[in-house]
């Protein structure tokens, strides 16, 4: 079955450490997105990529980095520069220019 997979489901990180969240899709979607979700604030766009080897900053890119070396994969690195990284992170994908985002089931990151 086609879908979008995020791993791990839960992640704990010590302050000062970088951590990478995985996102893989087998839907043949061109575009991929990373959102951050905090209670009461909805979904905020971190980074997005329309094609391989290209990506753009979203509204809250500071302290995050991404890569898009393969169409199927769009990993997100939360760096030590991110001041408040504890949140629920959602990855999504879509055909380019299409409204139909498919979301993964999310990764809950907690800084300890």
Per CB under 8 A, 99 contacts another protein: yes
Phi, psi of 8 (to 5 degrees): -80, 175
Q: Give the footprint of another protein on residues 78-97 (CB under 8 A).
A: 90, 92, 94, 96-97
Q: How far is C-alpha 7 from the chain's CA centre?
A: 11
Site for another protein (CB under 8 A): which residue of 27, 60, 67, 71?
A: 60
| Residues 111 and 15 sit within 8 Å (Cβ to Cβ) | yes
The count of C-alpha atoms lying within 13 angstroms of the C-alpha of 14, restricted to the half-sphere facing its C-beta, is 2
Distance CA 2, CA 86 (A): 29
Beta carbon nearer to another protein, 73 or 80: 73
- 60/111 with CB nearer another protein: 60
**98 is a site residue for another protein (CB under 8 A):** yes
Paired sense of beta strands 87-94 and 31-37, if any: antiparallel
Name which of 8 and 18 has its Cβ closer to another protein. Answer: 8
Give the interface with another protein as residue ranges (CB under 8 A).
31, 33, 35, 40-45, 48, 50, 58-60, 90, 92, 94, 96-101, 103-106, 108
């Amino acid at each position: 079955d086609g879908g979008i997979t995020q791993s791990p489901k839960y992640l704990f990180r010590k302050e000062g450490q970088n951590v990478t969240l995985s996102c893989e899709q087998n839907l043949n979607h061109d575009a991929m997105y990373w959102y951050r979700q905090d209670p009461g604030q909805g979904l905020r766009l971190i980074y997005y990529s329309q094609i391989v080897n290209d990506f753009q900053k979203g509204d809250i890119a500071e302290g995050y980095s991404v890569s898009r070396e393969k169409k199927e994969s769009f990993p997100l690195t939360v760096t030590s520069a991110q001041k408040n990284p504890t949140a629920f992170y959602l990855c999504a994908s879509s055909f380019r220019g299409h409204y139909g985002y498919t979301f993964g089931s999310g990764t809950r990151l907690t800084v300890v």
